[in-house]
Amino acid sequence: MSVENWDEFRTAFQVAKMGTVSGAAQELGVHHATVIRHIDSLEQRLGVKLFQRHARGYTPTEAGMDLLKVAQTTDDQLSQLVSRIKGRGEEVAGELVVTSLPGMGALLVPVLSEFQLEHPGLNVRYLTGERLFRLEYGEAHVAIRAGRPPQEPDNVVQPFHRQAYALYVHKAYVERYGLPQATGEALAQELRFVSLDDPNSRAPFMVWINEHVPADRLAFRTSDIEVMTEAIYAGAGAGFLPTWQAQQRDDLVEVLPTSPDWDSQNWIVTHVDLHRTPKVQAFLTFLKARAKEWPCSRVG
């Protein structure tokens, strides 16, 4: 037989344990009439008397004693489950899902790896892509997003790493085409460019490209920012790179220095329901501390 109403079984368990309707009602925080109604309904459904009623209270029948034993075991198991769940919420363990744009992988992977080493019970899932993962549906615990501040009402948004960009060419490009004599924005008329294939992109450097670079100077376009980076490294044209990334190589030539107009502001986004959990708070504290050590970064 399936349990149609767990409240009735819970009430019967408390009556059997306490021995009185009033005691069970107090323990459950309900009116004594509710206790009586639950007992009567359960006995009717089961077709058997669970209690002998008398002046001193309720005494379980043989069937009532069977119910008491099963209910006691169930109650103990539920109590253990609640303790495990609470403990799980207080420790840094289980799954941690973090998302970002693909270009931040080189910065975030060492942080995630080190955080996992400090918390051996943690399993990390790092998801990258242009798609906005829906925190309200539990798709991620923490999202690192770029551009304008996210506006979802149930999310907690904090300013984070501000990424500086400059314009670079590979030495192979210089060998093939040389460097123009022009400076500043006039370079846009003379260089061959590598860019994203998205005229509506809100990336600050793409706004500059769309405003200043003629279409016939866009030598290589792609929808993937990692492919764009590889095209710059291959000498296909001049392109914008994060300064921390470019400074790790010795085969790039800076053509235009950083400009605040090209900076990309990143944001830490968490859902309000998970923001205060120990696991998320521990990771955010760790992430912000490590981000201060990142090269050429400003942490909001």
Per-residue b or e along 14-44, where b marks 16 or more CB atoms closer than 10 Å to that residue's CB = bbbebbebebbbeebebeeebbbebbebbbe
Q: Which pLDDT value is given to residue 90? A: 63
Q: What is the pLDDT along the chain (300 residues), one digit of tens a residue?
A: 444 567 888 888 888 888 898 988 888 888 888 889 998 988 888 889 989 988 888 888 988 888 888 877 777 677 666 655 554 556 788 899 999 988 888 899 999 999 999 999 999 999 988 788 888 878 889 999 987 888 888 899 999 988 899 999 999 999 999 988 877 778 889 899 999 998 888 788 999 999 999 999 999 999 888 899 999 999 999 999 999 889 889 999 999 999 998 888 899 999 988 888 889 999 999 999 999 888 755 544
- Whose tokens are 């309900």? That residue is 30
Q: Which pLDDT value is given to residue 171? A: 96
Q: In terms of DSSP bridges, do strands 142-146 and 264-271 run parallel, antiparallel, or are they unpaired? A: antiparallel
Indicate the residue type of 51.
F
Domains of the chain with bracketed CATH: 6-84 (1.10.10.10), 91-162+264-292 (3.40.190.10), 165-256 (3.40.190)
Q: Which pLDDT value is given to residue 80? A: 61
* Start-to-end CA span in the chain (Å): 59
CB atoms within 10 A of CB 218: 16
Q: Which pLDDT value is given to residue 70? A: 82
For residue 41, give both structure tokens.
């309904």
Residue pLDDT, tens place only, 169-183? 999 999 999 988 877
Q: Which pLDDT value is given to residue 89? A: 58
> In the chain, where does DSSP find H-type helix?
6-18, 21-28, 32-46, 62-90, 105-118, 171-177, 204-212, 225-233, 243-246, 272-275, 278-291
For residue 214, give both structure tokens.
């003629």
Longest dimension (CA), the chain: 106
Instruction: Concatenate the DSSP letters of all residues of 194-237 into one string.
Output: EEES-TT---HHHHHHHHHS-GGGEEEEES-HHHHHHHHHTTSS
H or E element in which residue 137 lies: none
The CA distance from 139 to 50, in Å, is 47
